[in-house]
Amino acid sequence: MSGMGARPPELTELARVDDRISFLYLERCVIHRESNAITSTDDQGTVHIPAASLGVLLLGPGTRVSHQAVMLLAESGSTVVWVGEQGVRYYAHGRSLARSSRLLERQALLVSRRQTRLRVARDMYGMRFPGEDVSGLTMQQLRGREGARVRKVYQTHSARTGVEWKRRSYEVDDFFAGDPVNQALSAANTSLYGVVHSVIVALGCAPGLGFVHTGHVRSFVYDIADLYKAEITIPLAFDLAADPPLDIPGETRRALRDRLHGGAFLNRCVADIQNLLRVEGEAGEDAADLPDPHEEDRDVMRLWDDGEEDVEGGVSYGADDS
């Protein structure tokens, strides 16, 4: 590449987060840029990847990435996540696709008010218990119901596949210490976390501001990912464990990728987050004070005015001073 390189893509040229490829995992390769594509080179050759249509790039061990490649991914609004061996450890992530802080402000307001935080938490559990009324349950009751539900899901898929199930067990520092179904669960859940994480940061939300989970930098990631495990990662893990492949983590990632192929999951995840952070006039909550999660995402800068409305940024207000 010579000179300043290819021009960055315009905002109108970028794919929306729900139209993008869910995730791509790379390891033991050199990642560079050629025009507006990311290139991955290893001993088998070079592959070109359109950056503007990529949701999240998972970088595993042995990857080397150039400054130009990271710059293109940033310009394209793609999220980069650095992960560990087999893609089952999270280390860091890149920038957001969002152009405004409206959803972040909305999330922060909801999580900092006990009544609205409880409402969102109940809604999350309600999405896992379709057809059940959870509006009057306490958090303790919801946790108990969720625990019983998850145990039943494990038992159901154990009976369906013939895979013995004892309990969820894994060692952070030794992936292969677990049995095949636990290995597959770890790999599938971690890949799901990466995809959900990419949607959350692409929308401009804070991964650490969770409603059910708390105290961790990825609390909101775990909140959202838990909505889909019983439907996606748990049955997938038992299916793979019924006839374990030689490369369980690799086959699990590919199976999950195929399951999420086509963008329907990204579209669903975006809609779920926006609906959970919805605007409605509840008791103790003035909808007029809260940013609308469905409002058009605009690249604007405004100044806090300590009044009813913010004021326009990029304007010199010195002439008004007396």
Domain membership flag for residue 304: no
* 118 and 265 assigned to the same domain: yes
Give the per-residue pLDDT at 154: 95
Helix 233-242 and helix 139-161, axial crossing angle in degrees, nearest 10: 30
Domain membership flag for residue 257: yes
Domain membership flag for residue 200: yes
- Reading the block at residue 130, the tokens are 């379709």
Q: Where residue 68 sits, what CATH number does that domain have? A: 3.100.10.20
Residues 55, 23 contacting (CB under 8 angstroms): yes
CA distance 27 to 239: 25
- Reading the block at residue 250, the tokens are 């690799």
Domain membership flag for residue 152: yes
Q: In this prediction, what percent of the chain has a pLDDT beyond 90?
A: 40
Q: Which of 36, 63, 93 is the last residue of a domain?
A: 93
Q: Average pLDDT for residues 301-308, to the nearest whole number?
A: 62
Q: What angle do CA 137, 193, 66 make, to 5 degrees?
A: 155
Q: Where residue 236 sits, what CATH number does that domain have? A: 1.20.120.920
* 85 and 211 assigned to the same domain: no
Q: Which residues are annotated binding-site positions for Mn(2+)?
A: 146, 213, 226
- Residue 31 forms beta bridges with which residues? 40, 65
* 71 and 188 assigned to the same domain: no
> Is the per-residue pLDDT at 234 higher than 60?
yes
- Residue 137 forms beta bridges with which residues? none
pLDDT in tens, 269-296: 989 999 999 855 444 444 434 444 445 4
CA distance 237 to 157: 9
Domain membership flag for residue 316: no
Domain membership flag for residue 287: no
Give the per-residue pLDDT at 283: 40
CA distance 186 to 181: 9
* 239 and 119 assigned to the same domain: yes
Domain membership flag for residue 144: yes
Give the per-residue pLDDT at 42: 94
* 113 and 228 assigned to the same domain: yes
* 83 and 140 assigned to the same domain: no
**To which residue do tokens 């909140």 refer?**
223
Burial of 178 (0-12, 13-18, 19+ CB in 10 A): middle
* 20 and 141 assigned to the same domain: no
Residues 58, 25 contacting (CB under 8 angstroms): yes
Give the per-residue pLDDT at 23: 67
Give the residue from 221, 228, 211 showing the smallest Cα distance to 264: 228
The count of domains in the chain is: 2
Residues 53, 19 contacting (CB under 8 angstroms): yes
* 169 and 87 assigned to the same domain: no
Domain membership flag for residue 40: yes
Q: Which of 34, 62, 93 is the last residue of a domain?
A: 93
* 128 and 152 assigned to the same domain: yes
Phi/psi at 61 (5° precision): -60, 150
* 155 and 76 assigned to the same domain: no
Q: Which residues are annotated binding-site positions?
A: 146, 213, 226
Q: Which of 93, 124, 146 is the last residue of a domain?
A: 93
* 89 and 106 assigned to the same domain: no
* 89 and 118 assigned to the same domain: no
SS3 letters across 104-120 = HHHHHHHHHCHHHHHHH
pLDDT in tens, 107-160: 999 999 999 999 999 999 999 888 888 888 999 999 999 999 999 999 999 999
DSSP classification of residue 8: P
More confident residue, 79 or 184: 184
Domain boundaries, position 195 = 102-276
Residues 211, 127 contacting (CB under 8 angstroms): no
